[in-house]
Every structure is written in C-alpha cells, then in structure tokens.
Amino acid sequence: MRRFFYLLRLSGQSAWNRRGTLALVVFSVALSTALLLGIERVRGQARESFRQSVSGTDLVVGARGSPLQLMLYAIFHLGGATSEISWDSARRIAERSEVAWSIPLALGDSHQGYPVVATTPAFFQRYSYRRGESLRFAQGEPFRDLYDLVVGAEAAKNLGYRPGSVLTLAHGSGAGKLAEHTDKPFAVTGVLRPTGTPVDRSLYISLEAMEAIHLDWQGGAPVPGFQVRADQARKFNLEPKRVTALLLGLKNRGRVFALQRQVNDYPGEALMGVMPGVAMDQLWTMIGAGERVLLLVSLLVTVTGLMGLAAAILAGLGERRRELAILRSAGAGPLDIVLLLACEGLLLMSCGILAGTAALALLIAGLGPVLADRYGIALYLSPPVAREWAILGGILLAGFLAGLIPAFRAYRLSLADGLTVST
C-alpha cells in the first residue's frame, strides 16, 4: 500500500514535470468528457421536454385511427387534419362528470408555414407543459374579439409580430401557394412566452373565428358568387361543427382507463381516446434516431481523446527509459513500472474528467438561463444522474485501459533494456 502511494506520487511528479505536453492531453480528455456529458444532458433534456410538450392532459380524444397521428395533430399541430370529430360528441364527452376541464382544438389553416389552431380561452388557462407549467403571455392577452389572434413565441419572433400587428391566414397548410382569407384579417392581441414546445410555433384563434373565415368556403375553395364580409360574419351562428381533437383533464386520474374505454366504445361515432404519455414515448423512439447519431459522434470524439492520451504517454516513454531503469535498479519490479504508468494514465484521466465536468457545469450555469429564455431549452445545473455517473465511470475505465497500452510497452522495454539504457 505504502509502495502504491509512492508510485502514485512519483507518477504525479513525473506528469507535473511534463505538464506542458500533458496539459494538451488533459484538455482533450476534458473536451471529450464535456461533449459526451453535454450531449447526454441535452439528449435527456430534449427527450424530457418532448415528453413534456404536454402535461396534465389525461386523455386526448380524436377520430378513430392512428394514435400517433392524433398526437401529431393534437400536440404538434402537424399535418392537415383529415379526420375530425363532431362538435356534438366533443361537447358531450367534455360535459361528463369525471372531466375537470377540456380544450377543443381545430386545425386546418396556417400562416407563413406556422399552423393556426382554433381553440377556446380554456387553452391558455389549462394547457400545461413540462412539470405543470402553464402558458404565460410575454405581451398582451388572450383573444377576446372574433378576429383576435395569439402568437407563439418563436412564430412571433421570426415574423416580427407584436400585439396590434395585423395578418391574414392561409387556407390549409403545407408548401405551395395557398388561398388566403384576405377578406378577414386578424389582429394580434397577445404573444406567448417561450415554452420549448410546439406551442411556440403556433398561432391561436377562437373556434368561432375558424367558423367565420370558412362561412363562404366549401371544401378547399371559396364558394363562387357567395361572399360574407367580415362584419357580416358576426351575425351568423358561429358554433363550430367539427373539431380535430379534444384534450381532457380528469378530476380523478384513476378514472382515465374507464373513460378511455367509454370513448372507444362511443355510440354513433368512431372515436378514440389516447393517453399522451404512452403515445409520446412511442413517437420519440421513432424520431429519436438522430440523437443516437449524436451520441455516436461524441463517443468517437472520446475514443480519439483517449488515443491521444495513450499516444502522449507512449511518446514520453522514450525519454523516460532512463528513469524507469533507475527505479528498476532500486528494486522496482516490472509490475511497479506498469503501475507507475497506469497511475499516470488514471491521473490524467481524472484531471481531464474533472475539468470537463466543471467546464460543462460552468457552461450550463452560464448559458442555461439564456437558452431557456430564448429557445425554451431547459438545461438545469444538477448533480449527475445515474446514467451520467455511468458515462463518467465508462470514460475513466476506458482511459485506464488506454493507459495500459503504454504501461505494457514500458513493461516490455524495462525487461528488454536491462540496466543499460544509453541515453
């Protein structure tokens, strides 16, 4: 034991003596560590914030079909909703006694590529994401008048909208030239704060407004010879006829399975109830392949860093043969030599890992608030979780193994050299 500590001290002093070269090695290990850990952090956080694009919603109701597609509509507002449910069914389900709140959503229109979602003011009160955070306004307030509109943070920023801005909506969504509802312009009344969810990329109007702009439309085009002016539209019955999805919150979460069954067996219309948590997980496994590529790249960077470590120690061996021969002459065995070099590798690894972890922590502490504020990416400074400990341990182990390469070489050298190293 005493001998081990002596070797540890020797390797430390020896490394310190060559600190100029080895600092680079430590730096590259630190970089690999920060990269690997950082990517894992972002990956975990991305997954988490994806999963938590919606929270607090117990059941999403839509037309029977693919649950994943319903998620795309209801949470991500993607795709032209082709299947809808009748307002009547939606209202009936929403009025059930176990339902605490409901948010109807109707898709279809867009603005400059951003989806326009028709909903009720309940959306701004009830919709929650992450760990139960609710929507907040950066500027203005929810829509009140028929032609009012609320913009998500990212859309507002990219398009330069503020309360008071006036805009028109396009019929349908997707690329190409879309017909515009030019006769019924909307005024922005509010801009939401960044959430890091699809809400940031959406525009919100009332269900009645959705009805109003489509009064004189049939299918995908205006009805020829029939036009309702914006102010005239107010006199029509604007109760919606169909919606795309209905988000439900229950008074008692335990009832969700029962309600889901009842929705699935709903008489008269083919409906489907989906629990968002499960569906979001499925969706993530489909789109999460990219994150694995990222992880692979950072793993390769780490391997490169470790190779650099082994190479640097190896390169130093030549001029240290003398030193090793001296130790051998004083009674050190070949195993002591191996230990000395392994200690050096481990020491460098530890320094690199510590430096990398500290650098990442500083980075997160410094950039975290900016990222959260600007992009809604929530990176928190927190002690490593089990997975991250495993990564740190893995790097250390890999570094130790890489350090054994020069150690083994030194072993061979010290056996072959005898005592006569002519340097």
Piece of the chain touching other proteins by CB under 8 A; list 2-10, 93-101, 147-155, 188-196: 2-10
Sign of torsion over alpha carbons 84, 154, 134, 167: negative
The helix (run of H) or strand (run of E) holding residue 30 is helix 19-51
Question: How far is it, in rounded angstroms, from Cα 248 to Cα 245?
Answer: 10
Q: Would you give the binding string for ligand ATP spanning residues 15-54, x where CB under 6 A is met? A: ----------------------------------------
Work out which of 176, 219, 225, 331 binds other proteins, going by CB under 8 A.
331
Q: Under the criterion CB under 8 A, does residue 412 sit at the interface with other proteins?
A: no
Strand extents, DSSP E, 58-202: 59-63, 85-86, 99-105, 110-111, 114-119, 128-129, 133-134, 137-140, 148-151, 166-167, 186-192
Please list the residues that pair with 137 across neighbouring strands.
192
How far apart are the C-alpha atoms of 229 and 213, rounded to whole Å? 9
Residue 13 within binding range of other proteins, rule CB under 8 A: yes
- Which one-letter amino acid corresponds to residue 285? T
Contact between 387 and other proteins per CB under 8 A: no
Of residues 154, 216, 323, 344, which one binds other proteins by CB under 8 A? Answer: 323
CB atoms within 10 A of CB 249: 18
23 scored as a contact of other proteins (CB under 8 A): no
Q: Give 337 or 342: the residue with its C-beta nearer to ligand ATP.
A: 337
Please identify, among the stretches 10-18, 52-60, 119-127, 412-420, the one whose residues bind ligand ATP according to the rule CB under 6 A: 412-420
Q: Is 21 in the site for other proteins (CB under 8 A)?
A: no
Please tell me whether residue 173 binds other proteins under the rule CB under 8 A.
Answer: no
Total residues in contact with ligand ATP, by rule CB under 6 A: 4
Alpha-carbon gap, residue 364 to 366, rounded angstroms:
5
- With binding defined as CB under 6 A, does residue 237 bind ligand ATP? no
Question: Which residues are bridge partners to 140 per DSSP?
Answer: 190
Contact between 336 and other proteins per CB under 8 A: yes
Q: Does 418 bind ligand ATP (CB under 6 A)?
A: yes
417 binds ligand ATP (CB under 6 A): yes
CA distances from 94 to 60, 82, 97, 98, 104 (A): 11, 22, 8, 9, 9
Residue matched to tokens 């972890």 = 357
b/e sequence 267-295, b meaning 16+ C-beta within 10 Å: eeeebbbbebeebbeebeeeeeeebeeee
Smallest gap from residue 314 Cβ to other proteins (A) = 19
Q: Does 420 bind ligand ATP (CB under 6 A)?
A: yes
Q: Name the residue nearer to other proteins (CB basis): 228 or 327.
A: 327
* Smallest gap from residue 5 Cβ to other proteins (A): 9
Binding residues (CB under 6 A) for ligand ATP: these are 416-418, 420
Binding residues (CB under 8 A) for other proteins: these are 2-3, 6, 10, 13-14, 16-17, 322-323, 325-336, 416, 418-420, 423
